[in-house]
Chains A and B, each alone.
Chain A
C-alpha cells in the first residue's frame, strides 16, 4: 500500500489511500491507547514482581529442575593412564578389601543373645546373632521432670547406648531412691532406713545395667507399652522370664 502511494501520484489514488488510512485509524484515540499501554506495563510489572517473588522463594526447587535438564556426563572414573591388566589387578584387590571390611562389620554383631530396647515404641527385641528370638512390649522412661525445689529435680528417662548386664538378680528387692518418696508426697527417710526396701514390686528377675537402671518386672501390667517408668525398663512376666533365661552377666543391651 505504501509503495503504491509513493509511486502513484494520481489524485484519485492518493484520495483512496488517504481514505484507507483514515478508516484504519477511525477509532484511534491517542489518550485511550496510552492508557492501554500503561495498564499493560503496570499489570505486567505487577504480575512479574509476583512471579519473581515465587521464583525467589522456590529458587532451590527451580535450580533442581534445571539440573535435571543439564547434560549428564559419563561419570566413570578411570585413573590416570591405567591399562587393562593393571586395572584388572586393581579390581581384584579392591573386591578383596571390600569383602574383608564387610566381614569386619558383620563381626560387630554379638555372638551370644543380645537385647534391643526401643524407647520410642516401648518394645524389646531379643536377638541371637542377626536372628530375632523374641519380641515383646516394655515400658521405658516417662520423660517427666519432677521438681521438688529450685535445686532438686529429677528427669525420668531411659539412657541410650550400649550397656552390659552387670548383675542378674532373682526375686529382687527394690531400694527406693529419694524421688520415690518425693513423688508420693512422703518425707524422705535416712539412707539406711528399712522404709527404703520394698520386695515383690520388681517381678521375678532384675538385670542391672549400671547407675541404678534395671530391666525388671512390674505390678502395673496395664501400662506396658507406655512410657511411664522412672528410667528403668519394665517387662511383663513372660517377657522377663525369656529375657532373663537367655541373657546372663555380660550380655549386651542396646537402648535407642
Chain B
C-alpha cells in the first residue's frame, strides 16, 4: 500500500475533521457528563462492598438473599408509613406519590381526599445509585419539602374586577361570560434532597398554542439546568446530577394536584422496588 501520498486521498482530512469535532465535545462532556457519573458510581460501589464485607461475619451463617430482599421491602414500607404519619400531623394538603401502587394521593390530615391513577412514570436512572449514598431510607425520610414549582397554568386563576359605580354598570358586568379553563397541565416541583418531580398530563397537546407552551416550558427547564451547571463550573465544582421522577396522570388530576398543593408542601415518596 502506498502511504506516501498521504494527503492525496481524504483520510488525513477525515482524521483532522474527527479530531476537531471531538475536541470541543470531549472538553464539555468530560466534566459535565462523564466525571459526575463516575464520581457517583465509584462512591456507591465502595459503600456496597463495605456492606457486603460486613455481612455474614462472626456469629453464624449470613442471612439469605431472599431474607435480605424481604427486609429491604419491609423497611421501605415502614419508611413510607412513617412518612404518611408525619404528613398526617400537618393541616394543609400534602402529597404522597406511591409508585409501587401507581397512585398520587392528596392527603389532608392523613385522609386521602383524591387518589390519582398514574398511567405511566419514569425516573432518573441515577436514583438507584445516588439515593444510596446516604442510604435510601435517610434519603426518603423525613418528607421532601417543596422548594419551588413552575407550571403551564397559573396557580390561582385570579380575575381582577373593579367594583361597578352603580346598578346599571353592575348589570352590564353581570352579563359577562365566565371564562372556562381548558389549558394543558404540566408542572414541575423541586424538592430538597436534590429531587425534582415532573407531573405531565397524559392527553396530547390540545392545540398548537398549547404545544408551543409546553415546548417553551421544557426549554425553560433545560436552560435553568444549564444556568445551574454554569454556576457550579464557576465555583469549580462538578455538576450534581438532579434526581427526577416524571409522573403521567390525567389532565383533570394534574390540574387538581397543582391547584391543591400549598407553598409549604411536604411529600412522601414510595419507590417502585428496592433496587
Chain A residues engaging chain B, CB cutoff 8 angstroms: 1, 21, 24-25, 27-28, 33, 36-37, 39-45, 47-49, 51-52, 55-60, 62-68, 70-88, 90-91, 94-95, 97-98, 101-102, 104-105, 108-110, 114, 116, 118-121, 142-148, 155, 157, 160-162, 182-186, 223, 226-228, 252, 254, 256
Check A185/B126 contact, CB under 8 A, given A28-B7, A101-B78.
no
Question: Which B39-98 residues have C-beta < 8 A from chain A?
Answer: 40-41, 44-45, 48, 51-52, 54-65, 67-72, 74-75, 77-78, 81-82, 84-85, 88, 91-93
Quick check: A70 and B63 within 8 Å, CB to CB? no
Contact of B74 among A43, A94, A254 (CB under 8 A): A94
Chain B residues engaging chain A, CB cutoff 8 angstroms: 2, 4-5, 7-8, 10, 12-14, 16-25, 27-29, 32-34, 36-37, 40-41, 44-45, 48, 51-52, 54-65, 67-72, 74-75, 77-78, 81-82, 84-85, 88, 91-93, 106, 108-114, 124-126, 128-129, 132, 135, 156-170, 178, 180, 222-223, 225-226, 229, 239, 241-242, 252, 255-256, 259-260, 262, 274-275
Measured in the bound complex, the distance between the Cα atoms of B74 and A211 in whole Å is 45
Chain B residues in 8 Å Cβ range of A65: 125
- With both chains docked as a complex, state the minimum distance between the C-beta of B246 and any C-beta of chain A, in angstroms: 11
- With both chains docked as a complex, state the minimum distance between the C-beta of B72 and any C-beta of chain A, in angstroms: 6
Contact of A64 among B113, B124, B163, B164 (CB under 8 A): B124
- With both chains docked as a complex, state the minimum distance between the C-beta of B217 and any C-beta of chain A, in angstroms: 15
Chain A residues in 8 Å Cβ range of B22: 48
Chain A residues in 8 Å Cβ range of B5: 24-25, 28
Other 16 A-B pairs with CB < 8 A, given A56-B28, A64-B125: A40-B17, A59-B225, A62-B32, A63-B36, A66-B33, A70-B41, A82-B59, A82-B63, A84-B60, A98-B77, A147-B161, A147-B162, A160-B92, A252-B111, A254-B109, A254-B111
Measured in the bound complex, the distance between the Cα atoms of B44 and A38 in whole Å is 46
Chain A residues in 8 Å Cβ range of B110: 105, 108
- With both chains docked as a complex, state the minimum distance between the C-beta of A39 and any C-beta of chain B, in angstroms: 8
Contact of A68 among B7, B69, B125, B222 (CB under 8 A): B125
Quick check: B18 and A44 within 8 Å, CB to CB? yes
Instruction: Indicate the member of A42, A75, A97 with the most B CB atoms within 10 Å.
Output: A75
Check A254/B108 contact, CB under 8 A, given A45-B23, A56-B229.
yes
Closest to B275 in A: A75
Chain B residues in 8 Å Cβ range of A56: 28, 32, 226, 229
Contact of A81 among B24, B58, B78 (CB under 8 A): B58
Quick check: A78 and B56 within 8 Å, CB to CB? yes
- With both chains docked as a complex, state the minimum distance between the C-beta of A254 and any C-beta of chain B, in angstroms: 5
Quick check: B163 and A147 within 8 Å, CB to CB? yes
Closest to A256 in B: B260
Quick check: A64 and B126 within 8 Å, CB to CB? yes
Quick check: B226 and A67 within 8 Å, CB to CB? no
Measured in the bound complex, the distance between the Cα atoms of B8 and A91 in whole Å is 74
Closest to B196 in A: A60
Measured in the bound complex, the distance between the Cα atoms of B45 and A140 in whole Å is 54
Quick check: A83 and B63 within 8 Å, CB to CB? yes
Chain A residues in 8 Å Cβ range of B128: 72, 75
Quick check: B8 and A24 within 8 Å, CB to CB? yes
Measured in the bound complex, the distance between the Cα atoms of B14 and A63 in whole Å is 29
Closest to B229 in A: A59
Quick check: B19 and A44 within 8 Å, CB to CB? yes
Measured in the bound complex, the distance between the Cα atoms of B59 and A84 in whole Å is 9
Contact of B62 among A41, A62, A83, A252 (CB under 8 A): A83
Quick check: B167 and A254 within 8 Å, CB to CB? no
Quick check: A67 and B124 within 8 Å, CB to CB? yes
Quick check: A83 and B60 within 8 Å, CB to CB? yes
Closest 5 A/B residue pairs (Cβ): A44-B20, A83-B60, A81-B57, A108-B110, A185-B170
Chain B residues in 8 Å Cβ range of A144: 158-161
Measured in the bound complex, the distance between the Cα atoms of B62 and A81 in whole Å is 8
Instruction: Indicate the member of B135, B158, B167, B274 with the most A CB atoms within 10 Å.
Output: B158
Quick check: B84 and A57 within 8 Å, CB to CB? no
Chain A residues in 8 Å Cβ range of B161: 144-147
Jot down 12 A-B pairs with beta carbons below 8 A, ordered by A: A33-B8, A44-B17, A57-B222, A59-B33, A65-B125, A71-B45, A74-B48, A78-B56, A87-B67, A87-B71, A146-B163, A256-B114
Quick check: B72 and A77 within 8 Å, CB to CB? yes
Quick check: A223 and B178 within 8 Å, CB to CB? yes
Chain B residues in 8 Å Cβ range of A88: 67
Chain B residues in 8 Å Cβ range of A184: 164, 167, 170
Quick check: A94 and B222 within 8 Å, CB to CB? no
Chain B residues in 8 Å Cβ range of A60: 225, 241-242
Chain B residues in 8 Å Cβ range of A49: 24
Quick check: A256 and B108 within 8 Å, CB to CB? yes
Chain A residues in 8 Å Cβ range of B163: 146-148, 182-183, 185
